[in-house]
Structure 1
Amino acid sequence: MAITVSIELNRDLEIPGGYDEVFDLLADVPSSASHFPKVHKLTDLGDNAYRWEMEKVGVDKHAIQSIYACKYHADKEAGRITWEPVKGEGNGVVRGSWTIKAKGDNVTAVKFQTSAELTVPLPSLLKLAISPVIKHEFNSLVDTYMSNLKKAV
């Protein structure tokens, strides 16, 4: 048995740095991922696709791990970085985008949007209990990521 949890996130932030510097950091997936908390392993699959393996959360047989892969596309002129799921990789399906705009020479406005579907091997009876926990954990990770990115530039 398995349950699927759907998550949608949107964040707006200003990063204290120039457009080129911020765009280049976000477009460089390994560099950007180094600021994301609890990444166990990031694997380059080639052709700007990466598999994310997050640290396990929980205890023993009740520990769950998110694994997913995305293919990234960066368009500097349009100020947009997008990612689409790679089929058949892991237990998650993740897609999203960064929209990046200069706000002066040393401040860059960034909009982060992502949606994820995570399938975990738990009985359906636990969906009501575990779904808010997974959503809270994901929100917390993304908030920490945003905070880390602000400090990185």
Structure 2
Amino acid sequence: MTISVDIHRDKREVIAAAYDRVSGLMDDLPATLAHFPSLETLAPLGDERYHWKLSPLGPITHRVRIDFATAFKVERHKGHLSFEPVKGVGSAAIGGRILLQPLDGERTQLQMTIKGTVHVPLSFLLKPLAAPIVAREFNGLVDGFVANLQRAHL
């Protein structure tokens, strides 16, 4: 049996780096996305679409592998990066957007919104327990992604 868990994450952060440096991360999506925690593989599907496969996540007794595909649209001149789920690929459907705004010469506002559904092979009876764990794991991945980018590039 499989349950569906909705996820939603809004993150707003001031990055201590100039706008041009932060927006430059949009120029090489595979290199930027490689900083996503627990990412095992990121396979290009063509046309700015990528199939993500994550390492197994969750408590040791119920670890699950999550994979999904996203189609990206980059508008670097506007500081916008949006992504939509690619239907029919994987165990999740994830979409969202990242907006960048220059604050001053050395700081950039990052606003990230991610929404989706993760399908987890668990009994329906476990859904009340699984939903907060999936949300916590996912939020940790998003926070880790931003932290990894800051350490590596900014």
Answer yes or no: same fold by TM over 0.5.
Answer: yes
The structure-2 alpha-carbon separation of the partners of 1:101 and 1:92, relative to structure 1 and needing over 3 Å to count, comes to same
Structure 2 CA distance for aligned equivalents of residues 44 and 29 of structure 1: 10
Structure 2 CA distance for aligned equivalents of residues 126 and 14 of structure 1: 37
Partner of 2:126: 126
Structure 1 CA distance for aligned equivalents of residues 3 and 39 of structure 2: 22
Partner of 1:32: 32
8 Å Cα contact 1:27/1:81 also seen in 2: no
Q: Deviations over 1:47-95 (max 9, x none)?
A: 10001100012547x4311100000001122221100011111010011
The number of residue pairs the alignment matches comes to 152
Partner of 1:114: 114
Q: Which amino acid aligns with 1:125?
A: L
Partner of 1:41: 41
SS in 2 for 1:56: coil
Partner of 1:2: 2
Structure 1: state its 5+ residue gaps. none
- Post-superposition shift, 1:8? 0.4
TM-score normalised over the length of structure 2: 0.92
RMSD: 1.5
TM-score normalised over the length of structure 1: 0.92
8 Å Cα contact 2:40/2:54 also seen in 1: yes
